[in-house]
Structure 1
Amino acid sequence: MVQQTEHVVTPTRDRILRATVDLLRRQGYEGTGVKQIARAAEATLGSLYHFFPEGKEQLATEALRMDGEHYASLLRRGMESSTDPAEGIVAFADLLAADLRAANWCDSCMASAAALERIGHSPAIQAGYQAAMETWREIIATRLRAAGTSEEKADDAACFALSALEGAEIQSRTTQSDHPLRTAGTYLAALFRGLARE
């Protein structure tokens, strides 16, 4: 008896969102058009506007949420891999470096790039980025508080950690090297250990 392989068809809406995330990561908001998104998703423009009647801005807002959840998932995996936040932040830096390497250094977290491009032009995108940042900060801060760091210091350290990691991600993409991310992880771990001793 010949075993047939089952072909899984991705729903059109999911394909459109996935294509939007991929293109915005590589090209940014201004460099990506709805026709290009439809082609990449193997969808018609009619179906694109059926699912996203407000067009590109709505697509970008939804894609930003999806991308933010991906980043949050990596962050949780890293931070929850150990009860020690210092080890957790190193694990996350390693996961992010592996993610970038797998994408041949082309993909970045689209959330910050899209938000910067649309500041003053798209309150929805800006609000989506702020919500994503709050989620990411809280993942780190929660682990720091659980390890005994005061609430205020945990919040400040989480904010600084995201700033350092975002800068390191840009350097890693530019140099096509994981060294900046791993270095950021190492120094953030030292910071977190210092907070635990206070």
Structure 2
Amino acid sequence: MKKKPASEARPAAKDPGQTFGTRERIVRSASRLMQRQGYDGTGIKQIAQEAEATLGSVYHFFPGGKQELAVAAIAHANGEFVADLKAVLDGEPDPARAVTAFSKHLAEELRASDWTAGCPITTTALGAAGRLPDVQVAASEAFARQRELVSAKLSDSGFGAEEARELAHMVINTLEGAEIAAQVARSDDPLEIAGRHLARMITAHRA
């Protein structure tokens, strides 16, 4: 299968008729590119070209340069991820089934991108978080927000607060690792297997 360009692998907007201002285009372009190439592999010039913006526009909106833009890109990507996660969790009363459904959703998204669109937070932050504190904080806050949603779902299903918190860590950490494994293997299996085992774990803890 021919690999799609970064700008085509996943639409910038869910509504194809929707248009965005310059700042929004820059953030979305940075998010897509860093999702595939990482922080160090993505340059300001490439982001500007992808966003059909001038370098002057990029620095106008992000005077802090690429680090400030990376923080905005992580926030944007996590907003999309959290919206998808919340929709799946809200749509399935059973948290075990909800986790399985979300693992399948991640696999479908990854396959649709020809295995290029892995976790945008991990890809952006790895290699940069150790030397760029703002990026590290943004990534940490993004994962915390994901865990909060899962923890709230588990609490609403009868789990105690501490157990829900720890299980939420396990769910998010496992899915993150499985997504990387699926991307490397170009296979749904790591995510689908992870989803099934997480569901069994949640069911066992609830019993």
Q: TM-score, normalised by structure 1?
A: 0.92
Q: Tell me, which stretches of 5 or more residues in structure 1 are unaligned?
A: 1-6
* Residue 7 of structure 2: aligned partner: none
**3-state SS of the aligned residue for 1:120?**
coil
Compute the RMSD of aligned alpha carbons. 1.3
Q: In the TM superposition, what whole-angstrom CA distance separates every residue of 1:45-70 from its partner, at most 9, and x where no partner exists?
A: 01111111111001100000001111
**Whole-angstrom CA distance in 2 between matches of 1:56 and 1:113:** 15
* Alignment equivalent of 1:135, drawn from 145, 149, 157: 145
Q: TM-score, normalised by structure 2?
A: 0.88
Q: Tell me, which stretches of 5 or more residues in structure 2 are unaligned?
A: 1-16
**3-state SS of the aligned residue for 2:116?**
coil
Paired residues, number = 191
Q: In the TM superposition, what whole-angstrom CA distance separates every residue of 1:75-133 from its partner, at most 9, and x where no partner exists?
A: 11222221110011011111111111111110111212322212332111111111111
* Alignment equivalent of 1:46, drawn from 56, 74, 88: 56
**Whole-angstrom CA distance in 2 between matches of 1:123 and 1:16:** 22
Structure-to-structure mapping, 1:1-198, within 5 angstroms: 9-197=19-207
Moved over 4 A (4+): none
Structure 2 letter corresponding to 1:145: S
Cα contact 2:128–2:136 (8 A) shared by 1 = yes
**Percent of residue pairs bearing the same amino acid type:** 39
Using the TM superposition, name which of 179-188 and 9-18 deviates more.
Answer: 9-18
If you compute each CA radius of gyration, which structure gives the higher value, 1 or 2? 1
Q: CA deviation at 1:8?
A: 5.6
CA distance 1:45–1:159, shift in 2 (3 Å): same
